[in-house]
Structure 1
Amino acid sequence: MTARPDPNEEIIRLAAACRFDPDRWSLAAWDWGEGDLAAHPGPRQWQRDINRQIRDHLADPARRFTPLRIAVASGHGIGKSAEMGMLSNWAMSCWADCRIVITANTRPQMQTKTAPEVGLWFRRAVTAHWFDMQAQSIRCRDPKRGDSWRLDFVTWSEHNTEAFAGLHNQGRIILLLFDEASAIADKVWEVAEGALTDEETVIIWVAFGNPTRNGGRFRECFRKFRHRWQTRHIDSRSVEGTNRVYLQSIVDDAGGEDSDVARYRVRGEFPSQSPMQFIAEADVEAARARHLRPEQYGFAPRIIGVDPAWTGADAVEIVLRQGLMVKSLLSLPRNDNDVEVAGLIARLEDDEGADAVFVDAGYGTGIVSAGRTMGRNWRLVWFAGKPVDPGYLNKRAEMWGTVKRWLKDGGALDPDDRTLSADLIGPETVPRLDGKIQLESKADMKARGIPSPNRADALALTFAEPVVKRGPGQAGNLKRLMDERYDPHAGL
């Protein structure tokens, strides 16, 4: 009597053949065109493109163990959760002792959408019987390997990042998937970066999201860190199986292709300005593209702004503005030695021939006191102080309002100074019943994962008071002209 073949043998051979090829696995592991996949002849084209990126990366032994980072910004309804399910099943089926962590922006998102959708693709796969699928994890059924061969659904928390800090799997494979990545705090990204350091390990990190915010680490995958990430924008209307008529109605009702709603809900592009954002990214990008000639700003007073470090993670930022030109003079780690910092500012003041120096009073009182012992006439500026314009809640909001007008009136930014550009688009406004303009605090920005905008605050300080350009042999001086209108070409 001939022994009946083990049905697992064929699946095992397939999994071994697909170890470096998630594209081939995605075609073979599901019954496309049958059952609840009757309307789907195969994975969508963009999903296959991602799978092939991973395949090509793994096919090259020279870069196989270099972490692969992929960021996908898209409109709604393209099948992100399905791709996470297929990728996860490939890694769990084709790699022994695989470790996967999937996180989403909120617990409801994870529990009601991401985890159920990923679990559905596991139940559909030819290897469904290999795994034990629970609400918070998927594990190998082998009781001896359930802890080492597993997928965990983890809700992110910037105050509880142990799940990411402990993500190690040396000599095997790590797959990290972010869902709705725009809303995941910067701290989680940072911890994940530091955790994925195992040698001789396949490390794949894919971040999916609707690009609802033009700040934060997901945004920077496409900008500041684009040299480390393979990025992709996907218009929902270009994807098979989406409701193109409905998607076009979103575009039309929002006011056209260039509206922010159309950009992030349909086109997969980051908004030019989020609803509460104070300074629009479009204004910052326009300022980065401007090139000034010296005669366009050389006649204006030279003003230094100093924003001392707020916490240990922040930097002391010192900038110089002359009319429509601004440049960073110095950025250094927090330094509690006020005399040393004052000495640095004094040197910069002399080197630049500055007409005035403004220092944030919050952490700068000791610095200004030390400066006065050196004969310096620096001015303390209280961010919480009373503004001249009653439309603003405080002095900080008023100064940022002037920065906003300065950008629109022709202010130019160094295109290589990405820190200043990111700082300027970071703060959001706080709704108030009295209608006054209030910027969110640095503490609130950090709570939502946005770095403190120290360099932009230093720029704002250069607009604290009107300044007159000193004549030959004269010390820098201030002149209060609060009754005069702002003139961007004369400093204030």
Structure 2
Amino acid sequence: MMTAQKKRITIPYRPEPLWKMTIHPALESHRFSVIVAHRRFGKTVGTVNHLIKKCVQNHRRSPMYAYVAPFRNQAKLIAWNYLKYYTHVIPGVRINESDLFIEFPSRYQGAQGGRIYIIGADHPDNLRGTYWDGAILDEYAQIKAELWDEVVRPSLADRNGWCIFIGTPKGQNQFYEIYQKARREPDWYCCMYRADESGVFAPGGRLGPKELDDMKRDMSEEGIRQELYCDFTASAFNILITIDMVTAACKKVYQKADILGAPRILGVDVARFGNDSCAITRRQGLVAYKPKVFHAISNMDFAARLIQEINDFRPDAVFVDSGRGEGVIDRCRQLGYEVTEVSFGGKALEPAHYVNKRAEMWDAMRKWMQAGGSLPDMPELKTELVTPEYSFDAANRMKLEPKEKIKERIGKSPDVADSLALTFSYPVYPVVPKEAVHGSGATCNTDYNPF
């Protein structure tokens, strides 16, 4: 009896030596990976073919994979044609142009075959409510950080799915954070390839040295540093608080004796819009504690949580954002708790130097970090701290990028960082240490995990 021979199918992908010898093997052996690379490195082609390979080799029922870019139209423009081209030689592949997915023939009777979806992060609901065997997050610097934390990461749990973050630096943001995380975590893979080391622009390379020279001639110095040499700080000249400051502050460790006598302060930011957060931050001297964040909470409920914080922490001052916090402030005062309302747009204590109170508070927070302030290792806080840009008005007074513009740019308001900034609203002078009255041990529990 003769058996039919299986037909060998060759996908028209020829990986460059660096991908073949180094990157692809690393992606195969790591669940989570971060690739930082210059423009024209071939990130999309390489990772799309990794998706295809993993989907074809997956023998589970109905595998699901996703390629995610910041916007759907961008995702379609960048990856869709590549996906169709590299799979067109596979018999039985079905292309869905409206929903942007490729479906492979099923190995199981009555079940759908493996699918690879092209998805925009501007439509996050397309990623919710299902499992994913693997995902690519392209240009992660332009994707809301919450997409990974709240949507993608949980959806990978069912199948022990993997994820690859790819992109070129665009300042110090969540892409920088995930790159630093990958560098620290032994079970993550990370790599960075600059234009002068990848081989793409080398003699005999895919683009060659002349193209690199031409690109450099046509680009700004900042663009060259960022797009070709993967410098995360290239566009950070007008960032008030740099990621290096934040990273250093997260490494600071103090004993309780170091902050005895320093005033205890609460900063309270109240949500402005439906998807914003309420946040409470404790600070004593050079130590800031992990903020408590509340989502979708009413003013009355939040006031109750704030009162509980006041009772627990016994602060010497409570500064509450008055922008949307009127109800919280009124309720606290009604119950006999003393709080100070702070208007972000109000007059600064030093009006000759700052346009408003918000700029003054944030700059005071920056100076506190430089003086040795200690931060909790909280990704959301760190990302928000390095987000606002600053400039100067005609009178040479510092002003910060408006919160509305920040929200438009990154998809959320920096509520958590604002709660810490509020602890610098007004001077609060040292008092008699409560520890001297009530007694305590000699160690300091700051509720955070330094690097």
| TM-score bucket (shorter structure) | 0.7 to 0.9
- Is residue 33–residue 165 contact of structure 2 (8 Å, CA) maintained in 1? yes
- Is residue 239–residue 386 contact of structure 2 (8 Å, CA) maintained in 1? yes
1:469 to partner: Cα distance: 3.4
Out of 348, 367, 375, the residue aligned to residue 414 of structure 1 is 375
Structure 1, residues 303-329: CA drift from partner, whole Å, max 9, x if none? 43333455576243132242xx13227
1:11 aligns with 2:1: no
- Relative distance call for 1:214 and 1:329 in structure 2 (3 A) is closer
1:191 aligns with 2:156: no
State the percentage of identical aligned residues: 22
Query: Unaligned regions of 5+ residues in structure 1, if any?
Result: 13-28, 58-67, 474-492
- Relative distance call for 1:102 and 1:472 in structure 2 (3 A) is closer
- Relative distance call for 1:268 and 1:345 in structure 2 (3 A) is same
2:6 aligns to what SS in structure 1? helix
Out of 222, 241, 249, the residue aligned to residue 179 of structure 2 is 222
- Relative distance call for 1:451 and 1:78 in structure 2 (3 A) is same
CA distance in structure 2 between the aligned counterparts of 1:151 and 1:293, rounded to whole angstroms: 52
Structure 1, residues 59-83: CA drift from partner, whole Å, max 9, x if none? xxxxxxxxx3222122222211221
CA distance in structure 1 between the aligned counterparts of 2:169 and 2:7, rounded to whole angstroms: 42
Structure 1, residues 366-396: CA drift from partner, whole Å, max 9, x if none? 4444444565543111112233425544321
Deviates more, 1:94-103 or 1:176-185: 94-103
1:280 to partner: Cα distance: 1.6
- Relative distance call for 1:446 and 1:240 in structure 2 (3 A) is same
TM-score (norm 1): 0.68
CA distance in structure 2 between the aligned counterparts of 1:405 and 1:446, rounded to whole angstroms: 25
- Trace 1:365-384 onto structure 2 (pairs within 5 A): 365-372=326-333, 376-384=337-345
TM-score (norm 2): 0.73
Match of 2:310 in 1: 346
- Relative distance call for 1:361 and 1:411 in structure 2 (3 A) is farther
Higher relative contact order (CA 8 A, sep 6+): 2
RMSD of equivalent CA atoms: 4.3
CA distance in structure 2 between the aligned counterparts of 1:219 and 1:450, rounded to whole angstroms: 17
Out of 157, 165, 170, the residue aligned to residue 207 of structure 1 is 165
Out of 382, 399, 404, the residue aligned to residue 366 of structure 2 is 404
1:11 aligns to what SS in structure 2? coil
Query: Unaligned regions of 5+ residues in structure 2, if any?
Result: 203-207, 435-451
- Relative distance call for 1:153 and 1:472 in structure 2 (3 A) is closer
CA distance in structure 2 between the aligned counterparts of 1:89 and 1:338, rounded to whole angstroms: 48
CA distance in structure 1 between the aligned counterparts of 2:20 and 2:400, rounded to whole angstroms: 41
Larger radius of gyration: 1
How many residue pairs get matched? 415
1:453 aligns with 2:450: no
1:51 aligns with 2:24: yes
1:73 aligns with 2:32: no
1:152 aligns with 2:117: yes
- Trace 1:145-184 onto structure 2 (pairs within 5 A): 148-157=113-122, 160-168=123-131, 174-184=133-143
- Trace 1:68-467 onto structure 2 (pairs within 5 A): 68-95=31-58, 97-123=62-88, 127-132=89-94, 136-140=100-104, 148-157=113-122, 160-168=123-131, 174-189=133-148, 190-198=150-158, 201=159, 203-216=161-174, 218-223=175-180, 227=185, 229-243=188-202, 245=209, 261=223, 264-268=226-230, 270-271=232-233, 274=236, 277-290=239-252, 301-310=263-272, 314-322=277-285, 325-328=286-289, 331=292, 333=294, 334=297, 336-337=300-301, 340-348=304-312, 350=314, 354=316, 356-372=317-333, 376-387=337-348, 388-389=350-351, 392-408=354-370, 410-414=371-375, 416-429=377-390, 437-442=398-403, 444-449=405-410, 451-467=412-428
Instruction: Output the amino acid matched with 2:281.
Output: I
CA distance in structure 2 between the aligned counterparts of 1:254 and 1:288, rounded to whole angstroms: 36
- Relative distance call for 1:77 and 1:369 in structure 2 (3 A) is same
1:424 to partner: Cα distance: 1.4
Structure 1, residues 19-48: CA drift from partner, whole Å, max 9, x if none? xxxxxxxxxx3578xxxx6xxxx5332354
CA distance in structure 1 between the aligned counterparts of 2:12 and 2:313, rounded to whole angstroms: 72
CA distance in structure 2 between the aligned counterparts of 1:433 and 1:44, rounded to whole angstroms: 54
- Relative distance call for 1:431 and 1:447 in structure 2 (3 A) is farther
1:77 aligns to what SS in structure 2? coil
- Is residue 137–residue 166 contact of structure 2 (8 Å, CA) maintained in 1? yes
Deviates more, 1:440-449 or 1:187-196: 440-449
Instruction: Output the amino acid matched with 2:179.
Output: F
- Is residue 428–residue 440 contact of structure 1 (8 Å, CA) maintained in 2? yes
